[in-house]
């Protein structure tokens, strides 16, 4: 699909550009330096004028046909390969160039990009040999010959002088900017192809300069001169000088038996032929060198012809737009100006000029033939295989790979007669390509070579280097005959031995299994070793299958054979004859080994236990996995499973088994490591003649087994027959089954028999019946992977071809499906580990989410528990501690009951009574929330409340119960019974203060109970009271009088059952001062809904019940409670400031204040503090929850509480100094805040 898109995109570009009359060239060059880079040589600075010159000449003197013109856009690379790649893409995207000229240094990646863009790229600098591979670089050509092309000329010289045994020496210096090693490697390969023997090969690793560095050639000569006469040395000409002097020093050149062929890839300098005899920085010719070089010839790139005029033009055009390279000599004077114009332009300038001209010629040919001028491959076809005239002054041939053939010259020592009469290295021959298109150039000598002996030396002495050729040897025919006889005898014995070993192995019956050795007891789907857990959910483990299978369902009959867990397949045959054919079949099955083929263990042929044994795969078959909806298969699993099946089938088809014949998803097993293994192949001999025990009612299931069979096999009515093409068809059905997970034929209403009939009966007018592909394009249908890769759809349709010959083989399928495994590991375990790493990264967030849920449920459970038991008691029980009974010196107990409840119960239904009591106690419970009291229990219409336990509160228990009782009595007056709305509810209330003992009673439904005479007395106060009045004892009244805010009336002495005469009182109400404060608070509540009463103790109670987090979690308006109280101690002040973000908490403020506390809630910032001032109190406390940090700091006269948000940390420290019961109660309440 991507290829079609590229073709359409290219055609659109062509239509838009062909109409233009300008073809843009993308010129990739390195003519500038990056900021801070002072080392880059900027080779493009000296040669860029050549492209300006070439484009100008073409447009002016050799125009393109059709009035088209050339232009170029510069892409500056700064000598950086990454920048060069980016510029290549930019020129294509932004400027829509039609060809690339360049790049400067690197070219491999840029050439691949040009090939993918289908644009020609003609390099003038790159010499990498890899780009000659047209399979990868289909649009790449170059005008600079690769350095390795000189190898052909070397071979031509050696063959010319009949040298077939040579020693090869080359430079491998890291400091050299030339890759002589690659040239030497190419020469060696070319020599081998032309049967020229390299008897010695060695390298030197440091660049040698005569007279300055250590000579490495003496050791090389000592190692080689006894085995060779002809040396081929690859390196700089200065190193050739050192080697020749070493040969002369050893005395090997005086007889003319040794000769040296030099290979240098630097261009020949015809103006200084004596430079080759001079050392570095030396002006005088070495006399010894002049003598030694008589035994030397060298192959070098030819010198340029008439290059001076070309250089002048390039320098001139280099100053023009777009380069505008300033000429530093223009302003100095005529002499330097002349020097500048005469300055030599590097040979790459000529190659750049040639690149533009050969592109223009190919473009003209393309336009003339009316082909696409923007098709890079078409342009390349007009470039390759043609000669052209180079700016160097000679003809150059472009070979079939788009490489310019090198123009090389053979030079040797000659003495020129003239004014100077000096010796030097002068050309004596050139290399030309023959007309018969031979791969080797032909050496044409136009001058003689001064051989020492008048003839070229031989590459080997007459008797050989060791004289072995002159020794007496037996006749060659005798040696050949003896060797042939020995060879025949050896082959015969090898075949005989192999056949004997083969027959012995066949007769050994290693595959035969005694059924008594197979343990099958208690190993079946319902056996004691089987578990109920599904295998597909077993985690990856390094333990053996034998251990893991204990936790799996069993998918077939299994057993243990020699400590190995095996699958047992019964064969319905009464008798098995062990013949040679069966033995060979069993040997083949035992010998076949592959990771994706299930291992065959053996067979039992003894009746009635005829069976086959193979490895057991604990996860069942692929069909089991696909049908299990709990198994989620992601892209990694699908790609790995498909790859496993293909690998297994490739090995099976290449083996002697040839084909499977019954490939289907139930025969693709999955082991514990999720590797798919193919089974039920081969063994055709033992399976033949099997007895079918199936009744006719199972006929439809037999059709179902044929759903994977190829149509041509179904038509032969021979289910045992198979073929490799049939296996490909079966694989297509399995692939469809994996991708869709809707069965082998997808969601269909047809029976298997109907499907088989439609597959077999194909008419010419209709397409063959195949599974529907629509499920892969329907977004409402859930598939294994979405979207399904296009390569899978193409392979499916090909595997289902009606004509078997049109189906691909498995190797082709592997290549087609290769995109599925892109960026995946080689096996599924590595992919699983990578996936598990990703899951681990998300696990922490998932754990946090689950922890929050558990925490919420825990809070609900705790809240319910705290409603049933006091918090301190419940916490002790949760910790598993025994709650000891505890005595309290002073506790106030409240009792109430409904007057006339018995009569009401008799006149009402049970449901009405339940609803009535629920309404009444809900009202009472809501009022109790505002006071420091504890609801002990309810018995029928009786309601019992206590204060001062389990947390002692000094004498506050009397005031708390008194305020609560008045509040309850006030609420009763307005309460109405639902089923008796016109009757007023009457209630008696009794209160008493005294000592009690409290503790938890029972293990089942434990209750916190109070014991003591105080409970009985409070009950008697209630039973002896009158409706709608609060009856209290004298002890209670004495404690209540300490507050001075309550009104009581003496009732007198009345008889109390079990107590005799007791003086009792009526609690009437509160004082005027307390009522006025309550009225002020009520009016403020009506005026400002955010105002309310919030007692000091209620702060601790609310935090204790709801958790500190709940008070600060929800964002809403906040406020400050300011309160002060007056009582007996006018110097006692309490200042409270509380941050409230939860609106539900604000609503609880109203009508929930201690009697001696006046509170005001007003808006404030998002941060507040709780300040408590209590005389003679010293307290310091720091407290930190999961989301808040509470820092308490106190002095003698003040307690400060700061509440701010913080990170999730947990720490607490507490130091205290208690002086009064009130301080102790406050500290205990604060310390009970949840952690």
pLDDT in tens, 1109-1128: 333 333 333 333 333 333 33
- Bridge partners (DSSP) of residue 169 are 202, 233
Strands 408-415 and 423-432: antiparallel
Q: Which of 449-453, 530-534, 712-716, 1076-1080 has the lowest mean pLDDT?
A: 530-534
Residues 1096 and 1046 in one domain: no
Whether the predicted pLDDT of 66 surpasses 80: yes
Rounded to whole angstroms, the Cα distance separating 254 from 250 reads: 10
What value does the mean pLDDT take over residues 586-598? 90
Whether the predicted pLDDT of 949 surpasses 90: no
3-class DSSP state for residue 10?
helix
Residue 662 within a domain? no
**Who's near 1071: CB < 8 A, 6+ residues apart?**
1044, 1045, 1046, 1047
Residues 1213 and 1093 in one domain: yes
Q: Which of 13-17, 459-463, 532-536, 946-950 has the lowest mean pLDDT?
A: 532-536
Residues 365 and 424 in one domain: no
Residues 271 and 352 in one domain: no
Using 50, 70 and 90 to split pLDDT, how confident is the model at 419?
Answer: low
Residues 1054 and 1164 in one domain: no
Given 868, 895, 922, the domain boundary residue is: 868
DSSP assignment of 999-1032: EEE-SSS-EEEEESHHHHHHHHHHHTS-TTEEEE
Rounded to whole angstroms, the Cα distance separating 1121 from 1095 reads: 10
Residues 177 and 299 in one domain: yes
Rounded to whole angstroms, the Cα distance separating 1064 from 1070 reads: 18
What value does the mean pLDDT take over residues 862-885? 77
Residues 848 and 995 in one domain: no
pLDDT at 936: 87
Rounded to whole angstroms, the Cα distance separating 1204 from 24 reads: 69
283 vs 311, more confident: 311
Q: Are 979 and 912 in contact (CB under 8 A)?
A: yes
Percentage of the residues of the chain whose pLDDT score is greater than 90: 29
Using 50, 70 and 90 to split pLDDT, how confident is the model at 516?
Answer: confident
What value does the mean pLDDT take over residues 1088-1103? 38
Using 50, 70 and 90 to split pLDDT, how confident is the model at 575?
Answer: confident
Residues 160 and 270 in one domain: yes
Q: Are 676 and 621 in contact (CB under 8 A)?
A: no
Residue 768 within a domain? no
Residues 1120 and 1161 in one domain: yes
Residue 137 within a domain? yes
Using 50, 70 and 90 to split pLDDT, how confident is the model at 369?
Answer: very high
Residues 232 and 199 in one domain: yes
Q: Which of 358-367, 687-696, 1176-1185, 1221-1230 has the lowest mean pLDDT?
A: 1176-1185
Residue 660 within a domain? no
Residues 1109 and 974 in one domain: no
Whether the predicted pLDDT of 39 surpasses 60: yes
Whether the predicted pLDDT of 1225 surpasses 90: no
What value does the mean pLDDT take over residues 889-905? 90
Residue 559 within a domain? no
Whether the predicted pLDDT of 847 surpasses 90: no
Q: What is the mean pLDDT of the chain?
A: 78
Using 50, 70 and 90 to split pLDDT, how confident is the model at 685?
Answer: confident
Rounded to whole angstroms, the Cα distance separating 732 from 692 reads: 29
Using 50, 70 and 90 to split pLDDT, how confident is the model at 633?
Answer: confident
Strands 69-76 and 22-29: parallel
pLDDT at 546: 45
3-class DSSP state for residue 116?
helix
Instruction: Provide the residue range defining the domain that includes 487.
Output: 474-508
Angle, CA 377 vertex, CA 372 and CA 379 arms, to 5°: 60
Whether the predicted pLDDT of 331 surpasses 80: no
Rounded to whole angstroms, the Cα distance separating 743 from 733 reads: 9
Whether the predicted pLDDT of 555 surpasses 80: no
Residues 119 and 59 in one domain: yes
The CATH code of the domain that includes 17 is 3.40.50.2300
Residue 267 within a domain? yes
Given 1051, 1070, 1089, the domain boundary residue is: 1070
Q: What is the SS3 string spanning 305-370?
A: CCHHHHHHHHHHHCCCCCCCCCCCCCCCCHHHHHHHHHCCCCHHHHHHHHHHHHHHHHHHHHHHCC
Q: Which of 670-679, 859-868, 905-914 has the lowest mean pLDDT?
A: 859-868
Given 1070, 1093, 1126, the domain boundary residue is: 1070
What value does the mean pLDDT take over residues 1010-1035? 90
Using 50, 70 and 90 to split pLDDT, how confident is the model at 53?
Answer: very high
Whether the predicted pLDDT of 985 surpasses 70: yes
What's the domain count of the chain?
A: 6
Using 50, 70 and 90 to split pLDDT, how confident is the model at 1171?
Answer: very low
pLDDT at 1144: 35
- Bridge partners (DSSP) of residue 287 are none
Rounded to whole angstroms, the Cα distance separating 558 from 601 reads: 13
Whether the predicted pLDDT of 1196 surpasses 50: no
Whether the predicted pLDDT of 491 surpasses 60: yes
Q: Which of 920, 986, 969 is nearest to 1069 (CA)?
A: 969
270 vs 386, more confident: 386
Q: Which of 393-397, 500-504, 866-870, 1034-1038 has the lowest mean pLDDT?
A: 866-870
What value does the mean pLDDT take over residues 981-998? 90
Q: Which of 314, 359, 349, 292 is nearest to 97 (CA)?
A: 359
Residue 1163 within a domain? yes
Whether the predicted pLDDT of 1193 surpasses 90: no
Q: Are 1048 and 1037 in contact (CB under 8 A)?
A: yes
Residue 1199 within a domain? yes
583 vs 828, more confident: 583
pLDDT at 1125: 33
């Amino acid at each position: 699909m991507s290829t079609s898109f590229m073709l359409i995109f290219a055609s659109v570009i062509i239509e838009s550009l062909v109409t233009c009359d300008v073809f843009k060239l993308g010129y990739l060059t390195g003519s500038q330096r990056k900021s801070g880079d002072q080392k880059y040589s900027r080779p493009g600075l000296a040669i860029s004028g050549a492209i300006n010159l070439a484009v100008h000449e073409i447009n002016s003197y050799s125009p393109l046909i059709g009035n088209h013109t050339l232009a170029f856009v510069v892409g500056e690379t700064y000598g950086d390969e990454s920048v060069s790649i980016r510029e290549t893409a930019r020129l294509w995207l932004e400027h829509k160039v039609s060809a690339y000229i360049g790049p400067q240094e690197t070219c491999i990646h840029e050439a691949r990009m040009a090939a993918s863009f289908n644009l020609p790229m003609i390099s003038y600098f790159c010499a990498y040999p890899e780009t000659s591979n047209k399979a990868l670089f289909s649009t790449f050509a170059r005008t600079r010959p690769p350095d390795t092309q000189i190898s052909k000329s070397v071979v031509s010289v050696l063959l010319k002088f009949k040298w077939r045994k040579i020693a090869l020496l080359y430079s491998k210096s890291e400091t050299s900017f030339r890759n002589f090693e690659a040239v030497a490697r190419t020469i060696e390969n070319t020599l081998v192809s032309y049967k020229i023997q390299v008897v010695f090969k060695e390298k030197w690793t440091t660049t040698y300069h005569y007279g300055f560095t250590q000579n490495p050639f003496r050791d090389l000569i000592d190692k080689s001169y006894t085995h060779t006469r002809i040396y081929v040395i690859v390196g700089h000409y200065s190193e050739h000088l050192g080697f020749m002097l070493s040969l002369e020093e050893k005395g090997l050149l005086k007889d003319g038996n040794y000769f040296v062929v030099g290979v240098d890839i630097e261009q020949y300098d015809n103006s200084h032929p004596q430079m080759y005899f001079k050392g570095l920085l030396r002006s005088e010719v070495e006399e010894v060198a002049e003598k030694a070089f008589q035994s030397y010839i060298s192959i070098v790139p030819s010198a340029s012809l008439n290059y001076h005029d070309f250089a002048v033009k390039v320098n001139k055009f280099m100053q023009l737009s777009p380069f505008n390279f300033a000429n530093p000599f223009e302003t100095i004077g005529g002499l330097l100006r002349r020097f500048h114009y005469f300055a030599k332009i590097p040979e790459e300038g000529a190659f750049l000029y040639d690149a533009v001209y050969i592109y223009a010629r190919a473009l003209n040919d393309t336009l003339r033939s009316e082909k696409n001028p923007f098709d890079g491959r078409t342009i390349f076809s007009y470039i390759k295989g043609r000669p052209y005239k180079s700016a160097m002054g000679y003809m150059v041939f472009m070979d079939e790979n788009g490489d310019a053939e090198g123009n090389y010259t053979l030079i040797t020592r000659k003495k020129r007669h003239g004014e100077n009469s000096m010796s030097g290295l002068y050309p004596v021959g050139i290399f030309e390509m023959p007309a018969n298109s031979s791969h080797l150039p032909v050496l044409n000598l136009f001058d003689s070579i001064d051989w020492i002996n008048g003839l070229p030396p031989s590459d080997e002495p007459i008797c050989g280097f060791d004289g072995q050729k002159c020794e007496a040897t037996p006749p060659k025919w005798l040696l050949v005959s003896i060797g042939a006889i020995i060879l025949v005898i050896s082959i015969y014995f090898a075949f005989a031995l192999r056949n004997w070993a083969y027959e012995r192995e066949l007769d050994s019956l290693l595959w035969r299994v005694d059924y008594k050795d197979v343990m099958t007891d208690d190993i079946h789907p319902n056996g004691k070793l089987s578990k109920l857990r599904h295998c597909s959910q077993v985690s990856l483990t390094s333990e053996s299958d034998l251990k893991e299978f204990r936790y799996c369902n069993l998918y077939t009959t299994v057993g243990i054979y020699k400590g190995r867990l095996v699958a047992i397949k019964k064969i319905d045959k009464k008798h098995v004859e062990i013949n040679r054919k069966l033995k060979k079949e069993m040997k083949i099955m035992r010998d076949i080994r592959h990771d994706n083929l299930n291992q065959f263990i053996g067979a039992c042929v003894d009746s009635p236990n005829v069976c086959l044994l193979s490895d057991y795969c604990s996860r069942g078959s692929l069909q089991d996995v696909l049908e299990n909806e709990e198994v989620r298969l992601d892209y990694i699993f699908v790609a790995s499973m498909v790859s496993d099946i293909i690998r297994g089938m490739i090995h099976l088809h290449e083996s002697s088994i040839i084909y499977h014949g019954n490939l289907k998803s139930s025969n693709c097993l999955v082991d514990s490591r999720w590797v798919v293994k193919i089974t039920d192949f081969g063994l055709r001999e033992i399976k033949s003649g099997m007895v079918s025990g199936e009744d006719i009612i199972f006929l439809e299931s037999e059709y179902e087994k044929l759903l994977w069979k190829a149509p041509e096999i179904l038509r032969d009515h021979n289910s045992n027959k198979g073929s490799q093409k049939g296996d490909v068809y079966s694989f297509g059905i399995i692939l469809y089954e994996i991708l869709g997970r809707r069965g082998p034929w997808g969601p269909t209403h047809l029976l298997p028999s109907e499907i088989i009939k439609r597959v077999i009966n194909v008419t010419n007018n209709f397409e063959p019946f195949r599974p529907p592909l629509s499920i892969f394009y329907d977004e409402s249908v859930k598939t294994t992977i979405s979207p399904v890769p296009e390569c899978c759809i193409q392979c499916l349709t090909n595997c289902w071809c009606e004509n078997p010959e049109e189906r691909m083989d498995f190797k082709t399928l592997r290549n087609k499906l290769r995109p599925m495994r892109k960026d995946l590991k080689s096996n599924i375990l590595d992919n699983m580990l990578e996936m598990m790493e990703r899951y681990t990264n998300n696990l922490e967030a998932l754990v946090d989410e689950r922890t929050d849920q558990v925490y919420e449920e825990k809070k609900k459970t705790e809240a319910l528990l705290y409603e049933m038991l006091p918090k301190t008691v419940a916490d002790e029980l949760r910790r598993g501690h025994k709650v000891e009974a505890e005595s309290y010196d002073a506790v106030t107990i409240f009792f109430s009951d409904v007057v006339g409840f018995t009569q009401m119960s008799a006149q009402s239904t049970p449901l009405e009574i339940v609803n009535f009591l629920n309404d009444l106690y809900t009202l009472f419970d809501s009022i109790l929330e505002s006071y420091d009291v504890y609801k002990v229990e309810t018995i029928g219409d009786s309601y019992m409340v206590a204060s001062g336990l389990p947390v002692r509160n000094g004498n506050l228990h009397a005031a708390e119960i008194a305020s609560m009782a008045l509040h309850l009595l006030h609420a009763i007056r307005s309460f109405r019974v639902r089923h008796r709305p016109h009757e007023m509810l009457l209630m008696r209330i009794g209160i008493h203060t005294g000592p009690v003992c409290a503790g938890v009673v029972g293990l089942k439904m434990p209750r916190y109970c109070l014991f003591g005479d105080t409970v009985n007395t409070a009950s008697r106060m209630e039973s002896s009271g009158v409706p709608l009045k609060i009856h209290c004892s004298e002890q209670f009244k004495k404690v209540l009088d300490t507050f001075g805010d309550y009104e009581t009336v003496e009732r007198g002495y009345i008889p109390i059952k079990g107590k005799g005469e007791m003086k009792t009182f009526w609690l009437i109400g509160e004082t005027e001062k307390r009522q006025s404060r309550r009225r002020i608070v009520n009016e403020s509540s009506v005026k400002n809904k955010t105002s309310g009463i919030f007692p000091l103790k209620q702060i601790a109670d609310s935090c204790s019940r709801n958790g500190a987090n709940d008070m600060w979690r929800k964002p809403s308006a906040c406020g400050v409670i300011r309160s002060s109280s007056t009582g007996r101690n006018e110097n006692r002040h309490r200042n409270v400031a509380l941050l409230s973000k939860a609106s539900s908490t604000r609503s609880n403020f109203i009508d929930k204040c201690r009697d001696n506390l006046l509170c005001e809630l007003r808006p404030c910032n998002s941060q507040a503090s709780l300040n408590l001032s209590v005389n003679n109190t010293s307290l310091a406390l720091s407290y930190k929850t999961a989301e808040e940090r509470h820092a308490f700091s106190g002095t003698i006269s003040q307690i400060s509480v700061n509440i701010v948000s913080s990170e999730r940390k947990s720490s607490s420290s507490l130091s205290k100094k208690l002086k009064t019961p009130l301080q102790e109660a406050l500290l205990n309440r604060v310390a009970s805040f949840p952690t």
